[in-house]
């Protein structure tokens, strides 16, 4: 990240597919030219040595860059070049020579120029002056006037195993082991103290006196000495521990600042005095790649270039960042040189950088902006009339959507691209495929295999089909994927349904949903509902004469032989007279007996379990209706229910479910307490264990163990209870279905009224959310009682109470009884503006839009007098950038804050006291003194015993 980029002065690509690293480049006046300009020497790991003399020609568009003449020399040395260095390496001459380090060889070359030999100037030639063979693999070398010799540069080569060999120009001096060497570090010579500094593997900056190294040497021949395996242990003059491993070392000696050792670590740069005292350090939040202290401009301040792996060049003055420039590469080597700019002038301070791929660049700092500019967003010719029209159209569509009060109901799109065709075979599977059953039955639980075929209109990919069968039913597959569908090849699959859990099925329906992306890319859903046959869940048994619960329905047609309408469920009574059949749900014990009166037009269901009659009741009603409709155009067939509603029985089922819920609540409270206790003990134990002086545990471990077992037991109990609750919920759902249908038959409700009834006394008992069935039903029935079924205007206050778990069911029972009573007295279930929808709104209590509104269609006259209330708008928002180096949004604006006090609105102060009181008196009272519904009329039905009205029924047993 930087504002500017380094300006390119001259650049070229060195070699082709060659590797370079630190040390592969040096800058110096190698041809000893009189002008003193520097040449760039680049050696690659592939053994090529190239020498450049950048002389860019100024043109109108800036500098021209690389020209072939800039290469002074290019030669292959047949061995990898690890390091190149310029210096006075030859004893007999004063000039600059080039030292090249190969893994097993050190060579010193002289660059000879023959002027005028070729057209464009001088001809250059590399000439070997001398070379040293090395016995060990070299790592790097440093040069300097060791021992204080003036005007001559000696060489010190460090090998991979940490041996240093010193060569006094053409002659070998000595070799020494550095102690504790593992991997060699960068090495540098400090002229002032006549010592070498290096960073060892133990992350210590170590300084060794040249004298000490030299003296400790045994006098041997060059070969012997190089082969040495052991030697005297030399002691470091001083050591300084660093935080991290060093990448590079430089020793600075500039005129107006003290001599210092600069060490570049992996995450820090250190400046150390030559006696091993840490002078400064700077921590980086990036990874440096190489560095170069190059000058001291101000007194006591050393300037240093640091290149980073984020392709930035940073110039620090001591530790203050003074300049940052972007580069095109990650440099591995940096130099600063003086080059010929034009005929007469020289350019000083050119930054020469080389990256590992061989991009060689000479650059200078300038205020060129960084190269990244945001891509301009697409500019189109705007046709405002067209835009306006489109805007209007979209606004209209949005408004239409919004005006629909119901939460967005997807309109059944005509262009469903998939058609689900489900064929339900009339017969059950010959061999049941039911698996993972939770019920035990002496007979094998049957299964039904359904064929699903998907017809696509166009080519679709990745179609997923979900099969959902409400518990206790289950399917052997729940998710089927089709990788692709072709229009003429419908995708086909088979799914088996079977009864899995041991409780009552409240509905015999299964949903098959296909999700796919339409050809236009929009996600689409197609749903299909199938009805499963009764015989999947019910088996025929012998009828039983007596039963606790009975339901009798009347018709206006002569009775039918039950054998005719339940042909598939006759069982052993197949040959019977057809007026009594017995059924049993798989996995349950209670037998349901169905009786048809021979004389009167009545049918009776009886069972020991009230709820279990529902599957048969619903089926009986359907089958009777379809039986009598056959062959008749207008159906005058009618089923009625005479007797009083079986509320008492219903309430028993209800109480059972509620008890389970109370238990669940109790268990979770207990569990919470135990968990808190567990954590408290844990915390105490933790402090005990942390204590330096061990203290007795005081039986806390026993307590922890005990609590843990309690938690496990509670969790088991909860699980048990959950299963019981599931059974109770199924029973309640069935019972509610029964009750709803009986009410319908009893009062002959229209479809609309029945739909309102069903959406108040809801049949889906879902205990997963925060709100349970009881409170939802209580709220919606209370709402009905206060709105369309209210006796007087006094009752008509709508003030929804929060949906909390009821304390007991007395009130709920009273309300249900009251509802039945009012219906019995002729009240109509009519709600203004209510249209029956397929899914009752109250079944979605967890919609975020309406968290606690059981019925959103209420309308209060009172609302009209309210003016819009000015309020403070929210002014906040989170910031949530997830990475560390991103700034976040100062999010949020400050709409409606102090600048505009009028927006706050007169909340308390602007209103007169009397006004406040008056309003509080009218509505506030209403809150506190809502007439309790229980006072409105005593339920008469509830306590009456069920009248048995079909005594004259003749049993055919």
Partner 1 sequence: MDPLFLAYSYFRRRKYEQCVELCSQLLDKNPYDQAAWSLKTRALTEQVYIDEVDVDEEGIAELIMDDNSIAQVARPGTSLKVPGTGQGAPSQGVRPMSQSGRPLTGFVRPGTQSTRPGTMEQAIRTPRTAHTARPVTSASGRYVRLGTASMLSSPDGPFINLARLNMPKYSARPNLAKSLFEYIFHHENDVRNALDLASGATEACQFQDWWWKVQLGKCYYRLGMYRDAEKQFKSALKQQDMVDTYLYLCKVYVRLDQPLTAVEVYKQGLQRFIGEASLLTGIARVYEGMNDMSNTVQFYKDVLHQDNMSIEAIACIGTHYFYTDQPEIALKFYRRLLQMGVYNTELFNNLGLCCFYAQQYDMTLTCFERALSLASDDNMSDVWYNIGHVALGIGDLTLAYQSFRLALASNNDHAEAYNNLGVLEMKKGRLEMSRAFFQAAFNLAPHMYEPHYNFASMSDKVGDLQSSFNAARRASDAFSDHMDSKQLLSSLRKHFAML
In the complex with partner 1, which residue's Cβ is closer, 256 or 891?
A: 891
Q: Which of 311, 361, 370, 367 is nearest to 65 (CA)?
A: 361
Residues 274 and 294: beta-carbon distance below 8 Å = no
Alpha-carbon distance values, 469 to 474, 510, 842, 864 (Å):
5, 4, 21, 46
> Contacting partner 1 (CB under 8 A), which of 275, 676, 713, 954?
676
The pattern of x and - marking residues 175 through 204 that bind partner 1 according to CB under 8 A reads -----xxxx----------------xxxx-
> What distance, in Å, lies between the first and last C-alpha atoms of the chain?
95
- Which of 15, 103, 147, 956 binds partner 1 (CB under 8 A)? It is 103
Cα–Cα dist 490/457, whole Å:
10
Least Cα distance to 26 among 345, 354, 255, 325 occurs for: 354
Token pair for 433 = 């495929």
Of 387, 574, 881, 954, which lies in the binding site for partner 1, with binding defined by CB under 8 A? 881
Site for partner 1 in 16-55 (CB under 8 A): 19, 21-22, 45
Tokens for 799? 């003030």
The alpha-helical segments, DSSP class H, found in 691-772 are 700-747, 751-760
By beta-carbon proximity to partner 1, the closer residue of 557 and 679 is 679
Nearer to partner 1, 567 or 906 (CB): 906
**Residue that has been written with the tokens 């040069």 in this structure:** 143
**What character string, x for contact with partner 1 (CB under 8 A) and - otherwise, covers 726-765?**
----------------------------------------
Asked whether the beta carbons of 323 and 365 are under 8 A apart, the reply is: yes
Q: Whole-angstrom Cα distance, residue 841 to residue 754?
A: 14
**909 near partner 1, rule: CB under 8 A:** yes
Both tokens assigned to 126: 């590399």
397 scored as a contact of partner 1 (CB under 8 A): no
For position 889 contacting partner 1 by CB under 8 A, the verdict is yes
If one asks whether residue 892 binds partner 1 (CB under 8 A), the answer comes out as yes
Choice from 750, 839, 904, 948 touching partner 1 (CB under 8 A): 904
682 binds partner 1 (CB under 8 A): yes
Helix pair angle (751-760, 700-747), 10° resolution:
170
Least distance from partner 1 to the Cβ atom of residue 704, Å: 14
Which residues, numbered 915-934, are part of the site for partner 1 (CB under 8 A)?
916-917, 919-920, 922-924, 926-927
Measuring CA to CA, how many Å separate 443 from each of 377, 536, 546, 657?
A: 71, 12, 24, 29
887 in contact with partner 1 (CB under 8 A) = yes
Q: Which range, of 65-73, 314-322, 467-475, 616-624, touches partner 1 by CB under 8 A?
A: 314-322
Q: Does 708 bind partner 1 (CB under 8 A)?
A: no
Binding mask 414-443 for partner 1 (x = CB under 8 A): ------------------------------
Q: How far is the CB of 726 from partner 1 (least distance, A)?
A: 25
Q: Say whether residue 898 binds partner 1 (CB under 8 A).
A: yes
Residue 24 or residue 562: which is nearer to partner 1 going by CB?
A: 24
Q: Give the number of residues in contact with partner 1, rule: CB under 8 A.
A: 117
Tell me how far CA of residue 175 lies from CA of 167, 178, 547, 638, 956, in angstroms: 9, 10, 110, 117, 120
Q: Residue 171 or residue 875: which is nearer to partner 1 going by CB?
A: 875
Pairwise CA distance, residues 754 & 756, whole Å: 5
User: CA 436 from chain center: how many Å?
Assistant: 33
Contact (CB, 8 A) for 369 and 4: yes
Residues 461-500 that bind partner 1 (CB under 8 A): none
Q: Considering beta carbons, is residue 810 or 872 the nearer one to partner 1?
A: 872
Sheet of 83-87: strand order equals: 83-87, 97-102, 105-118, 121-133
Q: What is the CA radius of gyration of the chain?
A: 47
Q: Residues 210-239 vs partner 1: string with x where CB under 8 A?
A: ------------------------------
> Shortest distance, CB of residue 452 to partner 1, whole angstroms?
32
Instruction: Give dist(CA 607, CA 504) in Å, integer.
Output: 14
Residue 387 binds partner 1, judged by CB under 8 A: no
Contacting range for partner 1; rule: CB under 8 A; set: 52-60, 174-182, 656-664, 803-811: 174-182
By CB under 8 A, name the one of 525, 686, 713, 947 that touches partner 1.
686
Which residues, numbered 251-290, are part of the site for partner 1 (CB under 8 A)? 266-268, 278, 280-283, 285, 287, 289
Closest approach of partner 1 to the CB of residue 907, in Å: 6
Which of 239, 441 has the CB closer to partner 1? 239
Tokens at 894, concatenated: 């400050």
The least CB distance from residue 869 to partner 1, in Å, is 5
Residue 417: CB partners within 8 Å, gap ≥ 6?
A: 456, 457, 458, 460, 516, 518, 519, 524
The DSSP code sequence of 531-553 is EPPGGGTEEEE---S--SEEEEE
873 is a contact residue toward partner 1 (CB under 8 A)? yes
If one asks whether residue 907 binds partner 1 (CB under 8 A), the answer comes out as yes
> Which residue carries 């009272």 as its tokens?
925
882 binds partner 1 (CB under 8 A): yes
Contact range with partner 1 by CB under 8 A, out of 107-115, 605-613, 834-842, 914-922: 914-922
- For partner 1, the closer CB: 235 or 319: 319
Q: CA 120 to CA 118: how far, in whole Å?
A: 6
CB atoms within 10 A of CB 709: 11
Q: E strands of 257-302, at which residues?
A: 260-265, 268-273, 278-283, 288-295
Pick from 647, 557, 547: nearest CA to 602 = 557
Q: Alpha-carbon distance 819 to 509, whole Å?
A: 29
Specify the stretch interacting with partner 1 by CB under 8 A; choose among 126-134, 427-435, 623-631, 858-866: 858-866
Instruction: Find the binder of partner 1 among 49, 51, 324, 681 (CB under 8 A).
Output: 324
Beta carbon nearer to partner 1, 372 or 384: 372
Nearer to partner 1, 3 or 57 (CB): 3
Query: Exactly one of 192, 220, 459, 683 binds partner 1 (CB under 8 A); which one?
Result: 683
Helix (H, G, I), strand (E, B) or coil at 36: coil
> CB 179: neighbour CB atoms within 10 A?
14
Question: Taking CB under 8 A as the rule, does residue 82 contact partner 1?
Answer: yes
Interacting residues with partner 1 between 114 and 173 (CB under 8 A): 137, 139, 160-161
The interface region with partner 1, picked from 312-320, 421-429, 537-545, 717-725 by CB under 8 A, is 312-320
Q: How far is the CB of 860 from partner 1 (least distance, A)?
A: 9
- Identify which of residues 384 and 866 has a Cβ nearer to partner 1 in the complex: 866
CB 671 → partner 1: shortest distance, Å?
12
The Cα-based distances of 152 to 84, 93, 144, 169, 695 in angstroms read 17, 9, 8, 8, 73
Q: Which of 928, 699, 942 is nearest to 820 (CA)?
A: 942
Instruction: Among 188, 236, 247, 624, indicate the residue that binds partner 1 (CB under 8 A).
Output: 247
Widest Cα–Cα separation across the chain: 140
Instruction: Pick between residue 643 and residue 905 the one whose CB is nearest to partner 1.
Output: 905
How many Å apart are CA 186 and CA 193, to the nearest integer?
A: 18
Binding positions for partner 1, 838-857, rule CB under 8 A: 848-853, 856
Number of Cβ within 10 Å of residue 934's Cβ equals: 13
Question: 10 or 316, CB closer to partner 1?
Answer: 316
Which H or E element spans position 823? helix 810-824
Rank residues 26 and 347 by Cβ distance to partner 1 and give the closer one: 26
User: Smallest gap, in angstroms, from Cβ of residue 882 to partner 1?
Assistant: 7
């Amino acid at each position: 990240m930087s504002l500017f980029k380094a300006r390119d002065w001259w650049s070229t690509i060195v070699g082709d597919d060659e590797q370079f690293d630190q040390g592969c480049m040096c800058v110096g006046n190698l041809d000893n030219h009189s002008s003193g300009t520097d040449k760039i020497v680049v050696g690659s790991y592939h053994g090529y040595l190239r020498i450049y003399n950048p002389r860019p020609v100024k043109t109108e568009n800036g500098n021209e860059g690389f020209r072939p003449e800039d290469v002074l020399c290019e030669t292959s040395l047949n061995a990898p070049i690890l390091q190149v260095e310029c210096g006075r390496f030859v004893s007999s001459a004063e000039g600059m020579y080039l030292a090249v380090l190969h893994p097993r060889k050190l060579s010193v070359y002289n660059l000879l120029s023959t002027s005028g030999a070729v057209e464009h100037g001088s001809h250059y030639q590399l000439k070997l002056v001398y070379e040293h063979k090395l016995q060990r693999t070299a790592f790097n070398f440093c040069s300097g006037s060791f021992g204080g010799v003036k005007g001559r540069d000696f060489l010190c080569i460090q090998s991979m195993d940490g041996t240093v060999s010193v060569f006094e120009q053409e002659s070998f001096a000595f070799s020494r082991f550095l102690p504790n060497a593992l991997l060699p570090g960068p090495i540098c010579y400090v002229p002032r103290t006549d010592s070498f500094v290096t960073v060892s593997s133990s992350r210590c900056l170590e300084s060794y006196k040249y004298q000490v190294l030299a003296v400790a040497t045994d006098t041997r021949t060059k070969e012997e000495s190089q082969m040495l395996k052991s030697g005297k242990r030399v002691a470091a003059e001083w050591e300084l521990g660093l935080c991290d491993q060093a990448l590079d070392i430089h020793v600075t000696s500039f005129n107006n600042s003290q001599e210092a050792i600069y060490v570049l670590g992996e995450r820090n740069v250190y400046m150390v005095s030559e006696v091993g005292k840490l002078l400064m350090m700077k921590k980086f939040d990036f990874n440096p790649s190489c560095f170069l202290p190059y000058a001291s401009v101000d007194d006591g301040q050393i300037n240093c270039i640091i290149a980073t792996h984020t392709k930035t060049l940073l110039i620090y003055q001591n530790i203050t960042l003074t300049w940052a420039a972007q580069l095109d590469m990650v440099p591995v080597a940096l130099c600063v040189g003086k080059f010929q700019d034009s005929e007469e002038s020289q350019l000083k301070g050119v930054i020469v950088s080389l990256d590992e791929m061989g991009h060689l660049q000479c650059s200078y700092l300038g205020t060129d902006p960084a190269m990244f500019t945001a891509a301009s967003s697409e500019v189109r010719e705007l046709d405002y009339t067209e835009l306006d029209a489109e805007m209007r159209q979209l606004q209209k569509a949005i408004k239409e959507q919004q005006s629909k009060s119901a939460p967005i109901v997807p309109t059944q799109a005509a262009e469903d691209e998939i058609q689900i065709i489900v064929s339900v075979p009339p017969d059950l599977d010959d061999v049941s495929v039911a698996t993972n059953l939770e019920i035990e039955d002496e007979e094998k639980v049957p299964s039904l295999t359904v064929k699903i075929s998907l017809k696509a209109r166009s080519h679709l990919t990745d179609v997923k089909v979900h099969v959902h069968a409400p518990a206790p039913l289950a399917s052997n597959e729940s998710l089927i994927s089709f990788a692709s569908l072709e229009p003429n090849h419908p995708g086909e699959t088979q799914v088996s349904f079977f009864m899995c859990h041991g409780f009552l099925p409240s509905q015999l329906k299964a949903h098959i949903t296909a999700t796919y992306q339409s050809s236009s890319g929009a996600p689409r859903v197609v749903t299909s509902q199938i009805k499963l046959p009764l015989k999947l869940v019910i088996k025929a048994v012998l009828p039983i004469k007596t039963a606790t619960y009975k339901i009798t329905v009347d018709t206006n047609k002569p009775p039918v032989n039950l054998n005719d309408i339940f042909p598939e469920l006759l069982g052993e009574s197949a040959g019977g007279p057809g007026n009594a059949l017995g059924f049993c749900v798989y996995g349950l014990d209670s037998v349901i007996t169905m009786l048809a009166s021979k004389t009167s037009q009545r049918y009776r269901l009886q069972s020991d379990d009230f709820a279990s009659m529902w599957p048969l009741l619903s089926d009986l009603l359907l089958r009777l209706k379809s039986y009598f409709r056959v062959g008749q155009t207008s159906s005058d067939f009618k089923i009625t229910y005479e007797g009083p509603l079986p509320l008492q029985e219903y309430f028993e089922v209800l109480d059972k479910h509620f008890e389970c819920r109370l238990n669940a609540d109790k268990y979770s409270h207990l569990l919470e307490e135990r968990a808190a206790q567990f954590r408290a003990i844990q915390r105490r134990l933790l402090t005990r264990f942390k204590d330096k002086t061990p203290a007795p545990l005081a039986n806390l471990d026993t307590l922890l163990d005990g609590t843990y077992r309690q938690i496990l037991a509670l969790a088991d109990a909860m699980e048990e209870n959950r299963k019981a609750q599931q059974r109770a919920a199924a029973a309640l759902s069935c019972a509610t279905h029964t009750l709803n249908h009986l009410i319908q038959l009893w009062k002959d409700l229209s479809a609309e009224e029945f739909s309102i009834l069903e959406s108040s006394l809801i049949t889906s008992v879902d205990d997963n959310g925060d709100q349970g069935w009881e409170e939802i039903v209580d709220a919606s029935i209370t709402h009905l009682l206060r709105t369309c079924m209210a006796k007087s205007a006094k009752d008509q206050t709508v003030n929804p109470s929060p949906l909390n778990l009821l304390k007991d069911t007395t009130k709920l029972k009273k309300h249900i009884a009251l509802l039945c009573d009012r219906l019995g007295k002729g009240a109509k279930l009519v709600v203004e503006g209510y249209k029956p929808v397929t899914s009752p709104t109250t079944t979605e209590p967890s919609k975020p839009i309406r968290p606690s509104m059981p019925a959103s269609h209420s309308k209060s006259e009172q609302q009209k007098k309210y003016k819009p209330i000015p309020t403070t708008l929210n002014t906040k928002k989170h910031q949530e950038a997830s990475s560390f180096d991103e700034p976040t949004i100062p999010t949020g604006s400050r709409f409606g804050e102090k600048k505009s006090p009028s927006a706050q609105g007169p909340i308390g102060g602007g209103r007169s006291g009397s006004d406040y009181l008056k309003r509080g008196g009218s509505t506030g009272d209403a809150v506190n003194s809502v007439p309790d519904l229980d006072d409105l009329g005593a339920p008469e039905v509830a306590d009456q015993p069920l009248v048995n009205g079909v005594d004259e029924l003749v049993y055919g047993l």
